[in-house]
Structure 1
Amino acid sequence: MSVPPKFAGLKLSASAPQESQHTLELYLDYVCPFSAKMFNTFYAMSPQIALQYGPRLQVLFRQHIQPWHPSSTLTHEAGVAVLRLAPEKFWDFSAALFKHQTEFFDVNVVNETRNSTYERLAKIAGSVGVDERKFLDLLRIPEVPDEDGHLNVGNQITNDLKWIIKTDRVIGVHVSPTVFFNGVEERSISSSFTAAQWGEWLAQNVV
Structure 2
Amino acid sequence: MALPPKFAGQLLASSSRSESKHTLELYLDYVCPFSAKIFKTFFTEVRPLIEKKYTKPGVRVIFRQQIQPWHPSSTLVHEAAAAVLKVAPSQFWYFSEKLFDKQKEYFDVNVVNESRNETYKRLAKLAGSVEGIEEKKILDLLLVSDKPGKDGGLNIGNGVTDDVKLMVKANRLTGVHVTPTVLFNGVEERSISSSFSGKDWEDWLSKNAT
TM-score range, shorter chain: over 0.9
Q: Show the 5 A alignment for 1:128-147.
A: 128-129=130-131, 130-147=133-150
Question: What runs of 5+ residues in structure 2 fail to find an aligned partner?
Answer: none
Name the TM-score, length of structure 1 as normaliser: 0.97
In the alignment, is the contact (CA less than 8 A) between 1:13 and 1:57 conserved in 2? no
Paired position in structure 2 for 1:114 = 116
1:4 partner letter: P
Distance 1:137 1:172 in 2: 33
Q: Show the 5 A alignment for 1:164-203.
A: 164-203=167-206
Paired position in structure 1 for 2:27 = 27
Quote the offset at 1:124 in angstroms: 1.2
Quote the offset at 1:14 in angstroms: 6.0
Name the TM-score, length of structure 2 as normaliser: 0.95
Paired position in structure 1 for 2:79 = 77
Distance 1:14 1:153 in 2: 37
Quote the offset at 1:6 in angstroms: 1.4
Distance 1:19 1:5 in 2: 17
Q: Rate the CA distance shift 1:21–1:109 in 2: closer, same or farther, 3 A.
A: same
In the alignment, is the contact (CA less than 8 A) between 1:16 and 1:54 conserved in 2? no
Q: Which of 15-24 and 83-92 deviates more?
A: 15-24
Secondary structure of 1:89's match?
A: helix
Quote the offset at 1:166 in angstroms: 0.8
Paired position in structure 2 for 1:94 = 96
Quote the offset at 1:51 in angstroms: 1.4
CA RMSD of aligned residues (A): 1.2
Q: Rate the CA distance shift 1:58–1:20 in 2: closer, same or farther, 3 A.
A: closer
Q: Rate the CA distance shift 1:44–1:138 in 2: closer, same or farther, 3 A.
A: same
Distance 1:16 1:103 in 2: 32
Which aligned segments of 4 or more residues in structure 1 are displaced greater than 2 angstroms? 13-21
In the alignment, is the contact (CA less than 8 A) between 1:122 and 1:136 conserved in 2? yes
1:137 partner letter: D
In the alignment, is the contact (CA less than 8 A) between 1:23 and 1:181 conserved in 2? yes
Q: Rate the CA distance shift 1:15–1:28 in 2: closer, same or farther, 3 A.
A: closer
Question: What runs of 5+ residues in structure 1 fail to find an aligned partner?
Answer: none
Paired position in structure 1 for 2:54 = 53
Write the deviation string for residues 96-125 of structure 1: whole angstroms up to 9, x where unpaired: 000000000001000100010011011111
1:114 partner letter: R
Quote the offset at 1:156 in angstroms: 1.0
Q: Show the 5 A alignment for 1:7-26.
A: 7-13=7-13, 16-26=16-26
Distance 1:79 1:72 in 2: 11
Which of 98, 104, 107 is 2:106 aligned to? 104
Q: Which of 15-24 and 30-39 deviates more?
A: 15-24
Identity of aligned residues (%): 60
